[in-house]
């Protein structure tokens, strides 16, 4: 139906695209640590040596773990397997709340304590009016 | 297969269609904006900030959809040596680029009150920025190269290479830890994480934006056809 040239161009494009996709895949695979925006408490726990660089830790704010005093905010980030204590002084975003997602940027003091320099609230994929939220309860 | 292309017949359709599309766009946009800004409820967590979503999400969808079309048309144009495909792609690109920028800007405006930052180098946002760069390159290439054969080759290459980024954008939120939330709507299942009262304005706004893209496309494509006719050619 189509000429020989058309078939050759299809073959060329297939080879070209598969090689580029493979290259992109390999690059992303080797850059994995940089592509992820934050690490989970479990990943922090499994670190062999502490990173001196600025890193980000993300997870859920553990229920009843937020303590605010005049100088700092203390809370626990959990991924429901491991936990890490966060110490932060400064204003937290409006959506920062217990049981909600959070990303903390800062430095590791040790594997259990994280000194945050910035707090970001992570939003989840759920969108609903307040009445509906009340009807289905807090869980 | 695609040889029987007659610019005059197509021109007769595209030059008339744009005013109907404009009329329809204004109606759908009015309904969409009323739904999104007035009638739809506020979110339990974000309150009124949620209304940015009705612009952000459709804009992102359309920009991804148009870039995918650019890639498919470029593949078609390369394999079948069909210049019309290249002209269709050229006419589609500007509105896709505009929606890409809108998605980035509204995302930034949404990010400040919700996340607490204007910008984050997370995988979703960065890959969306890369898409905008590819759009920019694509549009610039059409203006830089004079030679017809050459310009089609260069723009096709940009579109096809840039399309590899599309699945990366889509699945970035599933493959890696990102600040951006995962998808709320899954086309393979009927379950969505968006309440129906918020899904309706989202749908209407998507239709409105698609109509806007169609309108810009018709106007751009018309210009291309006029250029072809002015050269006194009855084929491309």
Tell me how far apart the alpha carbons of residues B106 and B59 are, in angstroms, rounded to a whole number. Answer: 9
Which of B44, B79, B197 lies at the smallest CB-CB distance from A6?
Answer: B79
Burial of A68 (0-12, 13-18, 19+ CB in 10 A): exposed
Between CA A106 and CA A108, with CA A107 as vertex, the angle to 5 degrees is 135
User: Rounded to whole angstroms, what are the CA distances from B149 to B86, B163, B224?
Assistant: 11, 21, 16
Higher-pLDDT residue of A95 and B233 is: A95
Range of the domain at B204: 7-230
Partners of residue A24 in chain B, C-beta under 8 Å: 164, 168
8 A C-beta contact, residue B128 and residue B103: yes
B134: in domain: yes
The share of chain A scoring above pLDDT 70, in percent, equals 97
Q: Identify whether B1 is part of a domain.
A: no
| pLDDT band (50, 70, 90) for residue B1 | very low
The answer to whether the beta carbons of residues A111 and A95 sit under 8 Å apart is no
User: Which chain B residues are closer than 8 Å to A39 by Cβ?
Assistant: 177
Contact between B184 and A125 using a beta-carbon 8 Å cutoff: yes
- With beta carbons less than 8 A apart as the criterion, state whether A131 and A121 touch: no
Question: Would B235 be classed as within a structural domain?
Answer: no
Q: Note the ipTM here.
A: 0.84
Q: List CB contacts of B23: < 8 A, sequence separation 6 or more.
A: none
Please indicate whether, in this complex, the C-beta atoms of B181 and A124 are within 8 angstroms of each other: yes
Domain-embedded: residue B115 = yes
Residue B48 predicted with pLDDT over 90 = no
Local structure of B185: helix, strand or coil: strand
Q: Is A37 on the interface with B (CB under 8 A)?
A: yes
Number of domains in chain B: 1
More confident residue, A88 or B11: A88
Question: How far does B142 lie from chain A, in Å, by closest CA?
Answer: 21
What are the CA-CA distances from residue B7 to residues A23, B221, B224, B228 (Å)? Answer: 41, 11, 10, 8
**With contact defined as beta carbons under 8 Å apart, do B127 and B173 qualify?**
no
- Which pTM value belongs to this model? 0.89
Distance from CA of A132 to the nearest CA of B (A): 8
Residues of A in contact with B108 (CB under 8 A): none
Q: Which positions ≥6 away from B104 have C-beta within 8 Å?
A: B125, B128, B129, B132
* CATH number of the domain bearing residue B86: 1.20.120
CA distance B182 to B44: 18
CATH number of A36-122: 2.40.50.140
For A32, name the nearest residue in chain B, comparing CA atoms only.
Answer: B176
Residue B215 reports pLDDT greater than 70? yes
Do A39 and B177 make contact, defined as CB atoms within 8 angstroms? yes
**Residues 173-212, chain B, touching A (beta carbon < 8 A):** 176-179, 181-184, 193-195, 197-198
pLDDT at A51 over 60: yes
Domain ranges of chain A: 4-33, 36-122
The CB density around residue B114, as the number of other CB atoms within 10 Å, is: 22
Would you call B43 and A92 a contact, using CB atoms and an 8 Å cutoff?
no
């Amino acid at each position: 139906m189509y000429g020989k040239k058309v078939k050759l161009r299809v073959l060329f494009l297939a080879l070209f695209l598969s090689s580029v996709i493979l290259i992109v895949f390999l690059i992303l695979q080797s850059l994995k640590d940089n592509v992820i925006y934050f690490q989970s408490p479990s990943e922090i726990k499994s670190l062999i040596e502490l990173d001196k660089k600025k890193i980000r830790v993300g997870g859920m704010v553990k229920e009843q773990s937020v303590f605010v005093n005049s100088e700092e905010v203390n809370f626990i980030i959990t991924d429901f397997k491991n936990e890490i204590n966060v110490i932060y002084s400064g204003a937290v975003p409006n959506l920062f709340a217990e049981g909600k997602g959070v990303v903390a940027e800062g430095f590791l003091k040790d594997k259990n304590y994280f000194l945050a320099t910035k707090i970001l609230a992570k939003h989840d994929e759920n969108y609903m009016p307040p009445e509906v939220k009340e009807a289905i309860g807090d869980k | 297969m695609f040889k029987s292309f007659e610019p005059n017949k197509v021109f007769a359709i595209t030059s008339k269609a744009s005013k109907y599309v404009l009329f329809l766009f204004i109606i759908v946009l009015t309904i969409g904006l009323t739904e999104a800004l007035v009638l739809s409820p506020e979110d339990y967590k974000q309150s009124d900030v949620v209304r940015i979503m009705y612009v952000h999400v459709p804009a992102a969808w359309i920009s991804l959809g148009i870039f995918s079309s650019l890639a498919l048309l470029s593949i078609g144009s390369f394999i079948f040596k069909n210049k019309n495909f290249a002209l269709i792609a050229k006419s589609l690109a500007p509105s896709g680029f505009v929606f890409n920028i809108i998605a980035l800007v509204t995302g930034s405006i949404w990010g400040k009150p919700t996340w607490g930052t204007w910008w984050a180098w997370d995988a979703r946002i960065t890959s969306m920025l890369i898409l905008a760069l590819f759009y920019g390159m694509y549009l610039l290439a059409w203006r830089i190269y004079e030679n017809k054969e050459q310009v089609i080759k260069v723009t096709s290459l940009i579109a096809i290479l840039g399309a590899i980024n599309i699945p990366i954008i889509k699945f970035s939120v599933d493959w890696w830890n990102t600040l951006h939330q995962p998808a709320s709507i899954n086309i393979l299942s009927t379950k969505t994480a968006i309440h129906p009262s918020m899904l309706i304005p989202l749908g209407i706004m998507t239709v409105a934006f698609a109509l806007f893209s169609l309108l810009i496309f018709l106007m751009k494509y018309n210009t291309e056809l006029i250029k072809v006719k002015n050269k006194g050619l009855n084929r491309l």
